[in-house]
Structure 1
Amino acid sequence: MAIHFYGADDVPYGCFSNFSPHGLELDGRWWPTSEHYFQAQKFAGTRHAEQIRLARTALRAAELGRDRGRPLRRDWERVKDDVMRRAVAAKFRTHEDIRCILLATGDEELVEDTGTDHYWGRGRTGTGRNMLGRILMRTRTGLRAGER
């Protein structure tokens, strides 16, 4: 049976959302959420990245990151999965409480339950790529193996 998650406030799996209030340190900076980190990396090395890092909420970071008036880095499609993997791994290494929740899911499939995102979630038809769920499951495997 699969475990579905979406909203950051959903108990007990809201911590799987990139909007959950679990900060992390990556690239020598503190990021309020994994969403802040992910969106900022679309503009790595520019002033836009720092604006996103300093956004008051994860929703605002997402809005800024999705603004196509900003110059998206050329290699984004190639690197976005690795960026997400790094953010998710750092988040769960940083916070023992949510690491325990992730590990307690055993071998269950994790599915981002969104009808609007066919890439990161299950999508409208339920046949989406579920890349966030897959990255969480890969992170879970790495944590079990003692990866740091």
Structure 2
Amino acid sequence: MGGPCRLKAEAEKLATKAPDCTDNFQVRPFNFDGQEWQSVEQRYQAQKFLDATFKEKLRLMEKGSGESDSQHGMRVWSEGQRGRDLRPDWEAVKVEMMYRANLAKYLQHGDLQADLLATGDAQLDGAASTKWVMKSGQTVGWSPWNGLIQTRIREELKPVSAQDSDLLESLRKQFEDYLVCQGGNQLPIPGVGS
């Protein structure tokens, strides 16, 4: 689920809007496994399903004349709630899928990399979004995960000499722990690093 992240400096009580690149609804076409997608949200919604025809229907949803990125994203999100034939391991892989779609977008747009890196070391939190209950009974949601995805990618985009290796290791472990806690992947995970 989309929405721009928020930047929060330690001394500030209120968060400010992060760059548009942190919004999963942002329309910036990118290729993922040889196909063009309009937004991270569009690719994410399509990855949920095994039905190739439905995936293609989602992929072909382009931004309409006069439609904002947010409106397009909500239309794609809404269509993604109607699909059937969900991946059997979706609850386990969905965070990794969102990360990989975001990473693919950044790797293909140098200006978006620069925008994300310009946030420095500010804390990134996702906007209010959907929540779900894990197998452990813990309730989690996209608000913290979207912030963690952007933070991880920001750290990975830095030159190795500038990376906070402890932070990066901790972030990668959180993603791996989530995948394992939810039962792991039963099917291959497409995209970057597959």
Query: TM-score band (shorter)?
Result: 0.7 to 0.9
| Root-mean-square deviation (Å) | 2.2
Structure 1 segment 1-148 matched on structure 2, within 5 A: 3=7, 13-56=19-62, 57-67=72-82, 70-114=84-128, 116-118=129-131, 119-121=141-143, 130-145=144-159
Tell me the amino acid that sits aligned with residue 20 of structure 2: G
> What count of residue pairs does the alignment treat as equivalent?
131
Q: Which runs of 4+ in 1 moved over 4 A?
A: none
Are the structure 2 counterparts of residues 44 and 95 from structure 1 closer, same or farther at C-alpha, using a change threshold of 3 Å? farther
| SS in structure 2 at match of 1:48 | helix
- The one of the two structures with greater contact order (alpha-carbon pairs below 8 A, sep at least 6) is 2
- Give the Cα–Cα distance (whole angstroms) in 2 for the partners of residues 98 and 20 of structure 1: 11
Instruction: Give yes or no for contact 2:7–2:18 (8 Å, CA) kept in 1.
Output: no
- Give the Cα–Cα distance (whole angstroms) in 1 for the partners of residues 51 and 33 of structure 2: 11
- Give the Cα–Cα distance (whole angstroms) in 1 for the partners of residues 26 and 73 of structure 2: 8
| SS in structure 2 at match of 1:43 | coil
User: Unpaired segments of 5 or more residues in structure 2?
Assistant: 1-5, 9-15, 63-71, 132-140, 161-191
* C-alpha displacement of 1:45: 4.8
TM-score, normalised with respect to structure 2: 0.61
* C-alpha displacement of 1:11: 6.8
Identity %: 35
Tell me the amino acid that sits aligned with residue 66 of structure 1: Q
Are the structure 2 counterparts of residues 144 and 24 from structure 1 closer, same or farther at C-alpha, using a change threshold of 3 Å? same
Q: Which moved more, 1:44-53 or 1:86-95?
A: 44-53
* C-alpha displacement of 1:92: 1.0
Query: Looking at CA atoms only, which structure, 1 or 2, has the larger radius of gyration?
Result: 2
TM-score, normalised with respect to structure 1: 0.79
- Give the Cα–Cα distance (whole angstroms) in 1 for the partners of residues 18 and 125 of structure 2: 14
Instruction: Give yes or no for contact 1:53–1:61 (8 Å, CA) kept in 2.
Output: no
